[in-house]
Amino acid sequence: EDQVTQSPEALRLQEGESSSLNCSYTVSGLRGLFWYRQDPGKGPEFLFTLYSAGEEKEKERLKATLTKKESFLHITAPKPEDSATYLCAVQDTGNQFYFGTGTSLTVIP
């Protein structure tokens, strides 16, 4: 059973076209939800940690939100340099981590 599901698998946006990426999870007890950005051939880079439903975090054009069953990564007015794969990971109360397969974002100038 998948613990973390990310959608869509791939997303193409025009520069300035805002959108959202989804991360849904099914772990029984959430300790934390993490968002990472990964550029091709590089390791994932930490973006945000969310711990409880209703929490929001922002960084430049990115905003992460959390509910009891899912998290959204909102991208406002994206630029080509925002193109990357965005990974979601969930840590349960047993300290197990589960990663999603990522959303590949392409922002077209």
Q: Which is nearer to other proteins, 4 or 107 (CB)?
A: 4
- Scanning 10-109, the segments in alpha helix (DSSP H) are none
Q: Which is nearer to other proteins, 57 or 76 (CB)?
A: 57
Q: Which is nearer to other proteins, 78 or 100 (CB)?
A: 100
- Given the rule CB under 8 A, which residues bind other proteins? 9, 32, 34, 36, 41-46, 49, 87, 89, 91, 95, 97, 99-102
Instruction: Give min distance, CB of 83 to other proteins, in A.
Output: 17
CB 108 within 8 A of CB 15: yes
φ/ψ of residue 81, rounded to 5 = -70, -5
Instruction: Give min distance, CB of 101 to other proteins, in A.
Output: 4
Q: Rounded CA gap, 69 and 106, in Å?
A: 26
Q: How many Cβ atoms are within 10 Å of 59's Cβ, its own excluded? A: 11
